[in-house]
Amino acid sequence: MDTQKKGIPVTIITGFLGSGKTTLLNHILTNQEGLKTAVLVNEFGEIGIDNELIVSTDGSMVELSNGCICCTINDDLVNAVNKILERGEKIDYLLVETSGLADPLPVALTFLETDLRDMTRLDSIVTLIDCANYSDEALSNYQAIESQIQYGDIIVLNKTDLVDEADVDSLEIKIRNFKKNARILRTQKSQVPLALVLSVGLFESDKYFEGTESESKDDNRQSDKLETDDFTSLSIQSDSQLNFSEFQYYRSDHLENDGFTSLSIQSDSPFKMRKFQYFLDNQLPENVFRAKGILWFEESPKRHIFHLCGKRFSFEDEEWKGVKKNQLVLIGQSLDHDTLRKQIENCRY
């Protein structure tokens, strides 16, 4: 409990869809030395794709009950942290990865306004930006992006290798004009020196939240359940199963305002590679901003990790772990779920 009394440092990792949050989390877990780190992961979508992509360096990934921590402050997050502390093990660090549509403010307030403030200390909010897909229009139109930059203590300009250096310079100027006191880092594939993002002590609660905490509680507290498409998965790096009771929801309206939804598809039969490629080249609509999946193709014995960010997509091949199946999540604005589902299901025949 000595560590808990001093306050376990907490880093919130946020950023828009496909900015490189899970890659940064993997980088931290792979390169940390001598630290016992607990991880909470939030996803937008009914299938927890990131659960299988995160490097688990100690123990297994456990999926908790659904609840979008990017737009709610709920007992699930509080109870999850308390369960970690009650285990009696020495925990040196807590990492919270939000979904790509997250407003990090409710997550930060959970650590500031609940009993967690006596056992944890918010170290920093790290915001990743995809240099290749950033646009001024997106900043103006999406509340999530504006909030992620506004509340970020560290802004990581990621994927700098995909754009000209002059474009990165221009983007950094824009970010500094919007967020004058942020620490701005440039990187490729989220490879940031850990000393620059962990235990940095940059978060100052009075700077952001003076006068807003009670307003956030009063205005956003609702007892109604979130719609199914608003649910996300929450995961924790742990050695045993955790059980959670019912909880109330506190929701914000940024997902509804921005019009984002997700489509999740699972299949126990393989796709045909040629048909899936045709779907990507000719049918995938522009309003799908992010897609990720674990794919099984009839023509290949490998497990294929699929990522799509904007117009770029990639496949990584590896050996299968467990039962072969297709899992795919698409995230975008005003998606035609019925048409997309039919097109993807057609890739099986």
- pLDDT computed for residue 238 by the predictor: 32
Number of Cβ within a 10 Å radius of residue 243: 8
Q: Locate 149 and state its tokens.
A: 């930059």
146-160 average pLDDT score: 93
Say whether pLDDT at 164 is over 90. yes
Q: Tell me the pLDDT band of 89, cut-offs 50, 70 and 90.
A: confident
- pLDDT computed for residue 45 by the predictor: 52
Q: For 238-277, what is each residue's pLDDT tens digit?
A: 332 222 222 222 334 445 556 778 888 999 999 999 999 9
93 vs 204, residue with greater confidence? 93
116-134 average pLDDT score: 90
Ranking 180-184, 233-237, 254-258, 315-319 by mean pLDDT, the lowest is 233-237
- pLDDT computed for residue 224 by the predictor: 30
CB 77 within 8 A of CB 110: yes
CB 40 within 8 A of CB 224: no
- 165 vs 154: CA distance, rounded Å: 20
CB 314 within 8 A of CB 243: no
- pLDDT computed for residue 131 by the predictor: 93
- Beta-bridged to residue 271, according to DSSP, are 297
- Beta-bridged to residue 181, according to DSSP, are none
245 vs 293, residue with greater confidence? 293
Say whether pLDDT at 161 is over 60. yes
The residue type found at 293 is G
Q: Report pTM.
A: 0.67
Q: What percent of the chain has pLDDT over 90?
A: 31
Where are the CATH 3.40.50.300 domain residues in the chain? Answer: 2-257
> Cα 326 to the chain's mean position, in Å?
21
126-145 average pLDDT score: 82
- pLDDT computed for residue 332 by the predictor: 86
- pLDDT computed for residue 227 by the predictor: 29
- 289 vs 308: CA distance, rounded Å: 8
Q: Tell me the pLDDT band of 37, cut-offs 50, 70 and 90.
A: confident
- pLDDT computed for residue 225 by the predictor: 25
208 vs 284, residue with greater confidence? 284
In this structure, the strands spanning 60-63 and 232-238 are: antiparallel
Interior CA angle at 117 toward 120 and 153, to 5°? 70
For the chain, give the number of residues: 349
81-103 average pLDDT score: 79
161 vs 101, residue with greater confidence? 161
CATH architecture of 2-257: 3-Layer(aba) Sandwich (3.40)
Q: For 189-228, what is each residue's pLDDT tens digit?
A: 999 998 899 888 887 766 655 544 444 443 443 323 222 2
Most confident of 3-12, 92-101, 321-330: 321-330
- pLDDT computed for residue 206 by the predictor: 61
Whether CATH 2.30.30.110 fits 260-348: no
Half-sphere exposure of 75 (CA within 13 A, CB side): 7
- 129 vs 158: CA distance, rounded Å: 6
CB 290 within 8 A of CB 17: yes
Q: Tell me the pLDDT band of 134, cut-offs 50, 70 and 90.
A: confident
Where are the CATH 3.30.1220.10 domain residues in the chain? Answer: 260-348
- pLDDT computed for residue 44 by the predictor: 53
Average pLDDT over all residues of the chain: 75
